[in-house]
Chains A and B, each alone.
Chain A
Amino acid sequence: MQERKEVILKTPLSVEEIKFLRAGDKVHLNGFIYVARDLTHQLLMEDLEKGKELPFSLSGSVIYYAGPTPTRRGEIIGSVGPTTSSRMDKYLEYFLSRGLRATIGKGERKEGVKKLLEKYGALYLLACGGAGAYLSTFVVEKEVLAYKDLGAQALLRLKVEQFPLLVAYDTQGGDIFEEGKIKYRDILLYNKIEGRS
């Protein structure tokens, strides 16, 4: 098996620096990332249809699917772990085609996402779900870019340092979930539940 890599990346990302990464590699991410979840995506699309411009540049950008808890006075941010990515799949191609280079979230995504990532040369990165307090310690700056009154659904720009991630889907169709499951599942049990025995 290929040795796993561990890399430090800084946003904005280029295709060249991410294309050699494979599912299962470790990434420590630095720089700015944009936080948006369900309603945020919906509103961004509506604004774009109305001819408004995005409040950030998509070229080489990274979107983090998350909705943090409110920030205590004197703190930078509350708990900020990933949400389930597959709910945002329907918006993905629009942003990829305009330069989005990576998304961060948790869980397997829908059919077709891996193909899109291959087509546009982008990564899907996995952050540890249910570790929102821990992940907040890698955030050094926060700015609300839009929809402030929506709280957890606002569009945020975070500056992160050494944000711990795993490559979930790479630019070649590699898939951490599938590869992991195939390696660890009991094939006899699996065949039985699939009705192949």
Chain B
Amino acid sequence: MKELEYQDIVQQVEKALQELNIVSPKLLRDKMLEALAIEDNDLAREMLSQVMENYVVAEERNLPLCQDTGMVMAKVEKGEEVRVKGGSLRQALDEATRRAYSNNYFRKSVISDPFFGKNTGDNTPGVYFFELQEGDNLRIDLLVKGGGCDNISSLGILEPGSKPEEVEKFILRELDKKGGQACPPLVVGVGIGGNAPYALYLASQALSRPLGEANPDPRYRELEEKWREDINRLGIGPQGVGGKVTCLEVRIETYPCHIASFPVGLVCNCHVFRQKTLKW
């Protein structure tokens, strides 16, 4: 049995939440520079330039990259031989969120109930997904994203036996309609299989992976690359002003599915990709 200290988890998650809201990773900056080199629409270039100025100002002035500092999402993979001393993982995540959001002037955007609630005042609770695994590892993938990009999430119920082209068509149609509202260039998560709720879950999990982490299956790697290129051929462009870069990455996650169903989940992340992975 591996024992972990509750306070250690709180501190590390708090630090990660503080950083990811203010500091943009080098890989993201590189992708934006690449996009700037590709774009020839001066309006798209203007938007990308402001995005890059934003990285600098946020870090210099210790300001959040985006005013929408999100509802904290965490995917937690916990080994069965891991025990947390001094509190539960859920408590630790809430405590870390409370501290990070209260101490750093981040926006508190969570209300306690959709109909009857008030702002909780500390951005808790987050949305946490727990998965039990064998072994003694603990991995927490943190993801913070705004409401604007979450609002274009979509579920497609396709015909059983659908081909990749049909899934792609669904994604392209959805993004053509709504992609411009979600602050492109986007990171696009696609979940295929399981059942309807699980497909959305998979799409969301796909976004929790760090930038640049390739799909281990070469067949899906190829599809991810093709779909990214085709999304970019929609012409939506940065902030929807028209251009060649609408999508930074496509991530596909799959699961076995029922012979009568073919659910496809689509969940997107805006260009302010705020993700961190912690491991114990």
Using CB atoms and an 8 Å cutoff, list the residues of chain A in contact with chain B: 4, 24, 26, 66-72, 75, 78-81, 83-84, 86, 106-108, 126, 128-137, 150-152, 164, 166, 176-177, 179-186, 189-190, 192-194
Contact = CB atoms under 8 A, between A and B. Distances in A.
Contact of A189 (B58, B64, B233): B233
Interface in B238-272: 239-244, 270-272
A150 B107 CA distance: 11
A126 B44 CA distance: 12
B148 A83 contact: yes
Given A107-B240, A183-B235, A189-B233, A68 B67 contact: yes
A70 B240 contact: no
A150 to B, nearest CB: 8
Interface of B: 41-44, 46-47, 50-51, 53-54, 57-58, 61-69, 105-109, 119, 146-148, 151, 169, 172-173, 176, 180-183, 230, 233-237, 239-244, 270-272
B42 A78 contact: no
Contacts of B47: 128
Contacts of B239: 106, 126, 128-129
A26 B50 CA distance: 13
28 contacts: A67-B68, A69-B63, A72-B62, A75-B61, A78-B63, A78-B107, A80-B67, A81-B68, A84-B147, A108-B181, A126-B241, A128-B54, A129-B148, A130-B54, A130-B65, A130-B272, A133-B57, A134-B57, A136-B57, A136-B63, A151-B108, A151-B119, A177-B240, A177-B242, A181-B234, A181-B240, A184-B243, A190-B176
Given A106-B148, A183-B41, A193-B173, 18 more contacts: A67-B107, A70-B106, A78-B105, A84-B148, A86-B181, A107-B181, A130-B51, A131-B54, A133-B57, A135-B54, A176-B241, A177-B240, A179-B242, A180-B41, A186-B234, A189-B172, A192-B169, A193-B169
A75 B64 CA distance: 14
Nearest to B171: A193
A194 B242 CA distance: 19
A180 B241 contact: yes
Contacts of B108: 151-152
Contact of B67 (A4, A152, A164, A181): A152
B105 A4 contact: no
B186 to A, nearest CB: 11
Contacts of B236: 180-181, 184
Given A84-B148, A130-B272, A134-B53, A181 B235 contact: yes
Contacts of A75: 61
A189 B173 CA distance: 11
A56 to B, nearest CB: 21
A128 B51 contact: yes
B106 A69 contact: yes
B87 to A, nearest CB: 27
A70 B107 contact: yes
Contacts of B146: 130
A176 B242 contact: yes
A149 B98 CA distance: 19
Contact of A133 (B63, B182, B183): B63
A111 to B, nearest CB: 12
A110 B54 CA distance: 28
B51 A69 contact: no
A149 to B, nearest CB: 10
B240 A180 contact: yes
B244 A184 contact: yes
Contact of A180 (B51, B147, B243): B243
A130 B66 contact: yes
B63 A132 contact: yes
A8 to B, nearest CB: 16
A108 B240 contact: yes
B67 A78 contact: yes
Interface-central residue, A81, A152, A179, A192, by most chain B CB under 10 Å: A81
A26 B46 CA distance: 10
Contacts of A152: 67, 107-109
Contacts of B173: 193-194
Contacts of B243: 180, 184
Contacts of A179: 242
